[in-house]
Amino acid sequence: MEVPVHRSSLAQFFFYNTDSAWFWLIIRLYVGYEWLMAGWGKLGSPAWTGDNAGTAVTGFLKGALTKTTGDHPDVSMWYAWFVETVALPNATLFSYLVTYGEILVGVALIVGFLVGIAAFFGAVMNFSFLFAGTVSVNPELLLLQIFLILAWRVAGWYGADQKALPFLRRRSQ
C-alpha cells in the first residue's frame, strides 16, 4: 500500500518549478565563483600544483592533527586516523585533487552542468575541511550546496542542465 506524500507548495516551487530557476542561478553563481576562485588561486602555486606540490596540503593536515587534543577536540580521532594513514602519505595527490576539484566544481556550478553532482562533490570537500577543524566559509557553502542538491531538477535550468538532463534521461532508457 502506497502512502501519499504531500509536498508543500513552497517545496514544490523551489525544488520542482522552473520559475524558481532564477533564484538557484544566483546561488549557483555565488557558490561556483567561490569554488573557482579557491581552486584558481591554488593552480599557479608551487605548493599546490608546482614543484613543491603537497607542501600546502601537508601544512593544512598537520595543523588539523594539532586540533585533536583536549576535552572537546576540533578534529575527531577517526578523521585524524584518515589524515595520518591516507591523506598525509598521499599529500601530493590530495594537493592536485583539491585544486582541480575546486576548479571543476566551480566551473560546473557556474555553467549549470550536472548541478546536483557538482554540489555533492563541493559538499564532500566542505565536509572534509570542516572535519579538519577549519570553519571559514565552509558551513555557508555546505548549506547552499545541500539546497542545490535538493533543487537539482531546476537549479541548472538556466545553464547546461536544461539540455544535458533530458539528453541523459533519454540515453538511460
Q: DSSP readout, 26-90?
A: HHHHHHHHHHHHHHHHHHT-HHHHSTTTTHHHHHHHHHHHTTS-SSS-SS-HHHHHHIIIIIGGG
| pTM across the whole model | 0.90
Residues in the chain: 173
pLDDT given at position 152: 94
Q: Are 149 and 120 in contact (CB under 8 A)?
A: yes
Cα(42)–Cα(102) distance, integer angstroms: 9
Cα(15)–Cα(79) distance, integer angstroms: 33
Return the C-alpha cell found at 8.
508543500
- Place 171 in a pLDDT band, splitting at 50, 70 and 90: confident
pLDDT given at position 9: 87
Cα(91)–Cα(161) distance, integer angstroms: 34
What pLDDT digit, counting tens, does each position of 66-123 carry?
999 988 999 999 999 999 999 999 999 999 999 999 999 999 999 999 999 999 999 9
What pLDDT digit, counting tens, does each position of 6-56 carry?
777 888 888 888 999 999 999 999 999 999 999 999 998 999 999 999 999
